Amino acid sequence: MSRIPSTTPPEGAIVPPRHPKAPESGSKIPSHFGHCFGCGELHPTGLHLVAHVGAAQDLTAVFTVTENHQGAPGLAHGGLLSLAFDEALGKLMWLIRSPAVTARLETDFLLPVPIGTQLHIRAEITGQVNRKVYTSAEGHLGSLDGPVAVRASALFVIVPMKHFMENAPKAYLDHVTAHPELLAFVDPDFEINP
């Protein structure tokens, strides 16, 4: 049986510096695709998660739990909460200007999240080793000062942009063609070194 990688940064991991061309603190991180279930404004029942850049290698994000997001009656579905954290943690890659995929996501559910609640997420990069980027987040009910309802951590692996482009449907490629700034977080000189 193979070993499952951890989401805890190993000894010697460093928190990478913010890329000089990363979005400025306080700015909204754009949706990578309008129909994304996590952050797309065009998805009719999606989370519509909105994220803003923090002061360091961090961000805050928020979404409102609606009846479209319930599992048990009146409560957010755990899988959709995991999706919200995957989305928020993934948006951290804008800060280092590196396309990446989720390799592992761990989510701990501490309190129920009722529909009608806003979940406020604070996420940060906790370390990087080569192509592996380690992240963690907390989700607070009602405000960033509210009770912690969910904690998550994830391991992302930096991949070449062609990974996304070769697998993208025509609608996405058309969207990116119309909005090239969505790919602007990728440094054109960035090379993947395995």
Domain coordinates in residue numbering, the chain: 28-180
| Percent over 90 (pLDDT), the chain | 65
SS3 sequence, 41-98?
CCCCCCCCCEEEECCCCEEEEEEECCHHHECCCCEECHHHHHHHHHHHHHHCHHHHCC
Q: Is there a contact between 157 and 101 (Cβ–Cβ < 8 Å)? A: yes
45, 115, 128, 59: which is closest to 87 by C-alpha?
A: 59
Give the C-alpha separation, 152 to 74, whole Å.
22
The string of pLDDT tens digits covering residues 35-71 is 787 787 878 888 889 999 999 999 999 999 999 999 9
pLDDT at 192 over 70: no
Spatial CB neighbours of 140, under 8 Å, sequence gap ≥ 6: 119, 120, 121, 122, 146, 147, 148, 149
| Percent over 70 (pLDDT), the chain | 87
Q: Which residue has the higher pLDDT, 40 or 159?
A: 159
Where does 28-180 sit in CATH, by number?
3.10.129.10
Give the C-alpha separation, 141 to 90, whole Å.
21
Spatial CB neighbours of 70, under 8 Å, sequence gap ≥ 6: 76, 77, 115
Mean pLDDT is lowest, of 22-26, 41-45, 79-83, for 41-45
The string of pLDDT tens digits covering residues 98-149 is 989 999 999 999 999 999 999 999 999 999 999 999 999 999 999 999 999 9
Q: What is the pLDDT of residue 168?
A: 73
Spatial CB neighbours of 191, under 8 Å, sequence gap ≥ 6: none
Q: What is the pLDDT of residue 184?
A: 52
Spatial CB neighbours of 142, under 8 Å, sequence gap ≥ 6: 117, 118, 120
Q: In what order do the strands lie in the sheet with 50-53?
A: 28-29, 50-53, 58-64, 118-129, 132-141, 148-158, 100-109
Q: What is the pLDDT of residue 166?
A: 73
161, 101, 153: which is closest to 124 by C-alpha?
A: 153
Q: What is the pLDDT of residue 193?
A: 32
Q: Which two tokens stand for residue 2?
A: 């193979």
Give the C-alpha separation, 108 to 125, whole Å.
18
pLDDT at 29 over 60: yes
37: DSSP letter: T
Q: What is the pLDDT of residue 170?
A: 80
Q: What is the pLDDT of residue 44?
A: 85
Across all residues in the chain, what is the average pLDDT? 87
Q: Which two tokens stand for residue 71?
A: 């599992």
